[in-house]
Structure 1
Amino acid sequence: MPAYALAHLYELSNHPDVFEYIERIQSTLDPHGGRFVVHGVMPEVAEGEWPGTVVIIEFPDLEKARAWYQSPAYQEILPMRTDHIPGAAILVDGVGPNYDASATAARLRAATA
């Protein structure tokens, strides 16, 4: 099942460290099977408020996402972003190709009955 690293970056920065971070991040993703799904675009906000931008990186599974985030290669470059761009980052499991939201609703209903 795929997993995702999501970053909500509240502000953008043109600091040279940020440019170097962007130049180097792909080499930290490759050993863990990570690939950008969303990067470098402003979202269209359909509900609520969303200051800043979003980054979504897909991994084969949550273990590979964790291994990437905790890797020495990524930890070495991470301050280049976090020192200049405030934000939040999460790792989350995705759903499989046959995911059915109605089945999830049924499980939730049964659990509350």
Structure 2
Amino acid sequence: MPAYVIVNVDVLDEEAGLAYAPVAQRSILSHGGRYLVAGPTPEPVEGTWDASRFMVIEFPDMDRAREWYDSPEYRRARKIREGKVRVAMLFAEGTPPEGFALPD
């Protein structure tokens, strides 16, 4: 079952953000992740949205997402952004291949 990493990002130091992005991207791709959404925050239609950038990353399963997050490659990326790029991140299970069914 796919797993998703949902990320809000605020870059406080543009130089650090530029250094962090390629290291993080390589770590994601090397662990089977792929970007589904990446870029400026979409237009909010309800409520407020505080982050300046938004991403949704898909991994083959939750184990791969956790392996990526704990990997030496991504730990290096986190070190680069420490105190300079603010990140809020969620892990979420996807729906099974047969899709989402509403309860009866």
TM norm. shorter chain > 0.5: yes
CA separation of 1:87 and 1:22: change in aligned 2, threshold 3 A: closer
Aligned to 1:48, what secondary structure does the other structure show? Answer: coil
Gap regions ≥5 residues in structure 2: none
CA separation of 1:22 and 1:87: change in aligned 2, threshold 3 A: closer
Gap regions ≥5 residues in structure 1: 107-113
Q: Aligned equivalents of 1:41 and 1:34: distance in 2?
A: 20
Aligned to 1:56, what secondary structure does the other structure show? Answer: strand
Q: Tell me the C-alpha RMSD between the 2 structures.
A: 1.7
Shift of the alpha carbon at 1:48? 0.6
CA separation of 1:29 and 1:44: change in aligned 2, threshold 3 A: same
Q: Aligned equivalents of 1:39 and 1:82: distance in 2?
A: 21
Greater helix proportion: 1
CA contact (8 A) 2:7 2:55 kept: yes
Shift of the alpha carbon at 1:26? 2.3
Q: Aligned equivalents of 1:78 and 1:99: distance in 2?
A: 34
Q: Aligned equivalents of 2:81 and 2:27: distance in 1?
A: 14
- 2:80 aligned with 1:80, yes or no? yes
Q: Aligned equivalents of 1:82 and 1:97: distance in 2?
A: 37
Partner of 1:95: 95
Paired residues, what number? Answer: 103
TM-score if structure 2 supplies the norm length? 0.85
CA separation of 1:65 and 1:20: change in aligned 2, threshold 3 A: same
- Alpha-carbon deviations, 1:76-109, whole Å to 9, x = none? 111323421223111111112422342xx33xxx
Q: Give the fraction of aligned pairs with identical amino acids, expressed as a percent.
A: 33
Larger Rg: 1
Shift of the alpha carbon at 1:73? 0.8
